[in-house]
A and B are shown apart, each in its own frame.
Chain A
Amino acid sequence: MIPEKARPEWRSLLLSDTQQQFRFLALKLLMNRLRSRLRTDQSPSTVDACVGELHAFAIKNERFVQADLASIFR
């Protein structure tokens, strides 16, 4: 079960200075892309869009991201 999009951990994951180490290749590449976008624009609308993209990706790839998300959503 993927945590709800409203959970603050999604936002923290994208904005934190700490870089998590993930297992699922596509998640690693997505995180890099979203963080690159947020490096130059952290407006509320951009952050919301990135959270939405990350959450949608997690739902679509639930089987593969469970292990990576387990360490974040305790």
Chain B
Amino acid sequence: MNNAKLMSTDEVAGLLAAGHTLLVAGDRRALARLPRGSWIGGTIPYFMTEAGGVVDRDNVFANVLPPDMSLDSVRLYDAGGLRGVYQDGPEGGASFIIIPASSAPHLAFAQEAQEYPGFLDKPLVGWISGVHLEDLGAASPAVVDGTTGEVSEDKAVVMHCRLAADRTARLDIVNLFTQGGGDTLTFEQAGFSVGEVLVNGVPRSFASYLTEKGIDTKLPLVADYYGAMINVSFQAVDADADEVKLYAPVFPGVEYRIAAPVADYVSAFAAVVPDEAEGASFACNCILNYVYGGLEGQRTKGAVGPVTFGEIAYQLLNQTFVYLQLA
């Protein structure tokens, strides 16, 4: 991907001065050094680069919008306003979204995006901003509207873009996880926090089930959406509180299974990621894949972008590589 790379804030300032429109990921202090201009950004210091996975608090990762894509508008959305996100962009265009982790818009989008008016009408791609893992609890994820300089911890930032008339944008995902051969797990209520699970239809404590079965919670829950493997990742299992916390909500009526193990993330990823992902206009991968897959210093077949606290391809995803390409 030659339109996206890790660069200094001075280089980014130069691109903005030259009239480019950018999507930027970086540490909060690095983003604060950028001038106002045609860009949106989100906080994160982890990146997949051509040289491999890196942690960098000084440089930022910038995607230059391709020539056939142009800025329509930039907006900040609160949780309620996000309901209109699919309808606000131009017809035939695509939109980029960044949401601060654990903010009200994050929770709302995760649970309600599928019911937003115009859901799937146009590609909506992006990520959940985060912090250095050493700063969890001490620093807050944020997003930036570069056109105004506004930094927000409780709003999503969206860049709506137009596309040249002869181009279309296609959004796709690469998920290494598939459903394992274990129990079928269903839930009667939607939520990020779960007390009770139905195991093959029989209700029981989810925390006890995971503990007694010795489930490796680095493996996500996986649902099969007509061939799309959709993950829900585990955040914590609290046996005392009888509660399981998740990084995305489970939904009633959806059948989940614990994922089959992936022996080596890097080689497995290289085997399945399509060549087209290397030329993507935008891509991102999950912090859990970065950490659990040992991606620091490892190349992922030329697939580059920010490493995120959640991925968005129309809806919230976990432990998934997301990419947008123009055709």
B200 CB, nearest partner CB in chain A, Å: 18
Classify the interface of chain A: helix, strand, loop or mixed: helix
Contact B171 A28 (CB under 8 A): no
| Contact among A28, A30, A39, A64 for B227, CB-based, below 8 A | A28
Contact B254 A31 (CB under 8 A): no
Q: List 21 A-B contacts (CB under 8 A).
A: A19-B224, A20-B226, A20-B227, A21-B227, A22-B227, A22-B228, A23-B227, A25-B228, A25-B313, A26-B120, A28-B226, A29-B114, A29-B225, A31-B226, A32-B254, A33-B119, A36-B251, A36-B254, A39-B253, A57-B120, A60-B121
Q: 0/1 per residue, A1-13, Cβ < 8 Å to B?
A: 0000000000000
B158 CB, nearest partner CB in chain A, Å: 18
Classify the interface of chain B: helix, strand, loop or mixed: loop
The tally of residues in B whose CB lies under 8 Å from a CB in A reads 22
Task: List residues of B (200-242) whose CB comes within 8 Å of A's CBs.
Answer: 224-228
In the bound assembly, the distance between CA atoms of A45 and B69 in angstroms comes to 40
Contact A28 B228 (CB under 8 A): yes
Contact A32 B227 (CB under 8 A): no
- From known contacts A26-B120, A29-B114, infer whether A21 and B253 are also in contact, taking CB-CB under 8 Å: no
A-B interface, 8 closest residue pairs, ranked by CB to CB distance from nearest: A21-B227, A28-B228, A32-B225, A28-B226, A31-B226, A26-B120, A28-B225, A22-B226
The answer, yes or no, to whether B172 is at the interface (CB within 8 Å) is yes
Query: In the complex, which residue of chain B has the Cβ closest to the Cβ of A63?
Result: B168
In the bound assembly, the distance between CA atoms of A19 and B228 in angstroms comes to 12
